[in-house]
Structure 1
Amino acid sequence: MSATVLTAPVPAPVQPLSTDLDPNDVEFSAPVPAVGAVARTVGAPVVRDRTDAPPAAPRGLSIITAAPGLWRVALIGGPVLGHIELRERDGEERFVARRLLRGGLRSIELGEFWSPTDAAECFR
């Protein structure tokens, strides 16, 4: 009787992993658009990436940033009344006041203004 001896191949030496990354060796994909970069509304496009503070609130109202170029208007300690939206038309900024209708699913445009303060006055 004869026996065949099987031998396993000798593995190659293992290279240690490097924890130092060279930014020149890394491939980056295309930049990811900012939040709200693809947001559109009916009518004029929304100005994107606007991070300004909300406009001054008239007495009895609170105005909170809801998204870039969009502010939520509510009664202090009460329900949401509507929104102020920043739009760009012909290279100029305009502020649109939108009032929420009963149930809060639909809104109606109250007007278009040159300043956010004027748009906020519609909700008083």
Structure 2
Amino acid sequence: MDDIDSLKRSIGAALLMARERAGLTQADVSSMSGLASAMYGRIERGQMLPSVPTLHRLCMALRISASALLGLSSPRDLAAAAPEPPMSPQLARLARLLRMLSPGELRCLGALALDIRRRKNLVPAPSD
């Protein structure tokens, strides 16, 4: 039983470190991985062991290897697990909202974002 409890705590600590490194809240990670916030909180606190599919989703959401999350690699590997800069919480929320839009709504939003960027940077509009 101690081995299981130790594994729960180890995974929870690794999740906490990865989440903080990414600048995300528990709600952000739970939403990105499709978990209920309460369930993610229990896993991160070391009170619950995630299933293999849940572990995979958490690795994908936090951009961390399963070996780092399971404690099979050194803690330094956990700190350096993200090859690209972490997504800000605001960008993560926007990405979740974008996934709910239709293709037409995405095109419209893309055109709006491009127009905002052009106005801000005074980038000339393409000639049609």
TM-score band by shorter chain is under 0.3
Higher helix fraction (1 or 2): 2
Which one has a bigger Cα radius of gyration?
1
Higher strand fraction (1 or 2): 1
The TM-score, its normalising length taken from structure 2, stands at 0.24
Instruction: Between the two structures, name the one with larger relative contact order (CA 8 Å, sep ≥ 6).
Output: 2
The TM-score, its normalising length taken from structure 1, stands at 0.24
